Structure 1
């Protein structure tokens, strides 16, 4: 066996000890910095949570009061054997009805609402909540190269269309010619989505120059992920004359939102493409939409969902022409009318996606302290005259309450009135007509 002098062995051990201590010191120093940062993040999250809880209490009387949690992964109802309907949508404004337990996730914080900048187009081009379609039928105003049927989820009367999964399966609504500036809104729901759902499971919405079942030579699409075991992000891509110019995935963790029937909003202004999920804007690409080509078709496509286990549904599709700044119109004309302020079915609970419009009204009042406004609510013809008259007044009061409580507007500058169904601006027999009649007016006093 080979031996070492005692002095050499001592020096070797001393060297190892010194390097070990120094290395551990460096590691401990790094760990100390990480621990400090982690502690800071923990404190910030706790403060944010407590602040959110307090501000939620303020908004409980305005936005969906008394609700505490949404039902996740509702069960789709099977069609009646007779093919009849399983309930109507009532006097709805395109929102999702509450699940069977009557619960909801409650309002978001004041900060979120005050910064939500989506404003729907002012001229409605298309709206479909499948109210005129029978449960079990494919909707009359859509086309597909697969199949599908209108269903209800849980005990809610709201109707939904399943978007079946497949790479070349498309669902195409009969939307008329799209202008240069327009908005698209819809609600989505997932059933059977869990931690085993694929990282590539997604629902895409495409704007295309092809009116059939291909992507087209000119298009733009956004992919909404359903993966639950990791934050996948939202992907956007375009094609100009058959060549891809942009493909990017924006970091976004929407795993919780995707389980709770989120509202998706899209705004197209020339080349600019923006997308919100609920009240958060995730996509804002200034030159994504191809120019020189007419993207006249909207298509929905679901991919990589497990057959028989995972399902994706869509409802309340609304397409409207944009381009009019409501603030300028109110100041110059003294009156505006909008059907972009949405409420829960048969109630005066304001939907979160409506706050972009209410924010613009606040900006007008903030800019000119001499302006006073009358807020007038209108309904469609569903329901009794007296019921609609009372509901329209409550909805006008709810908008006033939002301006006062969320934005601090002096309540003395605002008056309210309800007109019920007495002053329709469109036919009450079609989904588009009813949606246009459900509106809120702001009139300078």
Structure 2
């Protein structure tokens, strides 16, 4: 007993320290179930139940690695397992109190088994969520380490943004992905942004923590930075009747485009099926709903495919109130780009490169409907977050082909590149597609492609960047649309020929452009 009184508390403190160390989420080899029990019922039950669920999840993980799709019964098992995992994980700290009064050897064995069970729980929770979302890919093991020993714990420093390593570690891969990946999808992407900029906000001119200066609301929101993505982002707040209005000078024309990026945090399996971003086109620029409007809602719930809702207030028997089948669960949590084209009564919406909505008369009264509003609803306060960036509204977006043929020259700021890079963003391929169609229609046409930048950065840097961007567009025409490269030449003018005020966000956006000139 004297031995216990001298050493049990320091050793227990050590075991507790081991227990709370961060544990690795990634598993490449199966964690071994302990062969013997501890003799403490709460510990033995916790370990047994943890590994019972772990074995199920690991089996389905093997299916994913083999490319075997899950059926409805498998999904039900995983959903039930995820609920049980949450309960078990919450109960883990309470089990420690049951170690008091036990001899030091039993305390040590119990702590090691709890550590191993906790590791299995972490793996199971993460993997079950990924399997249910269709995102699971078994990582290849890079060394010969395993997680099977009873007295070892492979610690890793993980953060909530650790899954976003693509932004920082795969620059070489990204440099080539704009042309060589998903060529068939890119070649069919038909969104064309407007060519007359009406509004642009990337929140770069706003102070962190402030409400953005070019917006209005009857609620709250703030500009933030996040380590998941570059730049400033506008955090919207969820709530009933809360509206966010970009301060556009005039009513929108009858033909225009809207584009913006979305970033999420905390959105997962518990997210409600009612969690949606409402994009409203209304007859007024206030916080009340107009009598004449049309809207679309983007779903964020992750435990089911909830569809895109479309509605309008048409008083006739042509009123629209429908939900379009669309499984965009994976897209909405991976920084999607949203594109909308309004051409009088016609309304189209793309999520990344895929068109989900194309309704010929959703905007049933174009003369009245001309104001943009955002509303966020169904998100848990302080747990689930939605941010937007790069809101761009532009007049036009109809057909650049006729203008190029008739005038021999077009200029567009709708071809977007990664910041400081010549990597073409995929949402730009609608314009490049139209240029390719002109070249395919008349094989005698030759084009000069000229890149322009804003004034950020040095003159020499901007000159080189503008030339690289023009060359990237040329290569996209050659590799994606199979245009003979001898018909294309590229050049760059840097910041030397501005068309907008480089001291403003809108002016800079206008200056970042690409020209196509018939030769």
What TM-score results when the alignment is normalised by the length of structure 1?
Answer: 0.76
- The equivalent of 1:413 in structure 2 is 487
1:164 equivalent to 2:241? Answer: no
Change (3 A) 1:255 1:141: same
Residue 268 of structure 2 aligns to a residue whose secondary structure is: coil
The structural deviation recorded for 1:166 is 0.8
Q: Which of 248, 253, 256 matches 1:179? A: 253
Q: Deviations over 1:373-415 (max 9, x none)?
A: 0000000001100000000000000000000111111111100
1:254 equivalent to 2:331? Answer: no
The structural deviation recorded for 1:99 is 3.7
The structural deviation recorded for 1:111 is 1.2
Write the mapping of 1:330-409 to structure 2, written as runs, cut at 5 A: 330-409=404-483
Q: Can you give the 5+ residue segments of structure 1 that lack an aligned partner in the other structure?
A: 1-40, 43-70, 76-95
The structural deviation recorded for 1:157 is 3.7
Distance in 2 separating the partners of 1:301 and 1:292: 21
Distance in 1 separating the partners of 2:354 and 2:252: 25
- The equivalent of 1:33 in structure 2 is none
Residue 475 of structure 2 aligns to a residue whose secondary structure is: helix
Q: Which of 193, 215, 228 matches 2:302? A: 228
Write the mapping of 1:203-352 to structure 2, written as runs, cut at 5 A: 203-240=277-314, 245-291=319-365, 293-322=367-396, 324-352=398-426
Conserved? CA contact 2:345–2:366, under 8 Å: no
Conserved? CA contact 2:161–2:228, under 8 Å: no
Distance in 2 separating the partners of 1:423 and 1:395: 16
- The equivalent of 1:117 in structure 2 is 190
Distance in 2 separating the partners of 1:357 and 1:259: 26
Residue 221 of structure 2 aligns to a residue whose secondary structure is: coil
Larger Cα Rg: Structure 1 or Structure 2? Answer: 2
Conserved? CA contact 2:343–2:398, under 8 Å: no
What TM-score results when the alignment is normalised by the length of structure 2?
Answer: 0.66
Change (3 A) 1:74 1:166: farther
Distance in 1 separating the partners of 2:280 and 2:398: 24
Conserved? CA contact 1:143–1:171, under 8 Å: yes
Distance in 2 separating the partners of 1:442 and 1:213: 42
Write the mapping of 1:191-210 to structure 2, written as runs, cut at 5 A: 191-210=265-284
Structure with bigger strand share is: 1
Distance in 2 separating the partners of 1:110 and 1:215: 42
Residue 211 of structure 2 aligns to a residue whose secondary structure is: coil
Distance in 1 separating the partners of 2:334 and 2:160: 8
The structural deviation recorded for 1:296 is 2.8
Q: Deviations over 1:87-127 (max 9, x none)?
A: xxxxxxxxx99745556885551111111110001111000
Distance in 1 separating the partners of 2:390 and 2:447: 30
- The equivalent of 2:209 in structure 1 is 136
Distance in 2 separating the partners of 1:337 and 1:125: 16
Q: Deviations over 1:8-58 (max 9, x none)?
A: xxxxxxxxxxxxxxxxxxxxxxxxxxxxxxxxx98xxxxxxxxxxxxxxxx
Change (3 A) 1:100 1:425: same
Structure 1 vs Structure 2 CA RMSD: 2.4
Distance in 2 separating the partners of 1:240 and 1:74: 44
The structural deviation recorded for 1:72 is 11
Distance in 2 separating the partners of 1:73 and 1:184: 31
Change (3 A) 1:244 1:309: farther
Residue 278 of structure 2 aligns to a residue whose secondary structure is: strand
Question: How many residue pairs end up in the alignment?
Answer: 357
Conserved? CA contact 2:306–2:326, under 8 Å: yes
Q: Can you give the 5+ residue segments of structure 2 that lack an aligned partner in the other structure?
A: 1-67, 70-157
- The equivalent of 1:145 in structure 2 is 218
Distance in 2 separating the partners of 1:73 and 1:293: 46
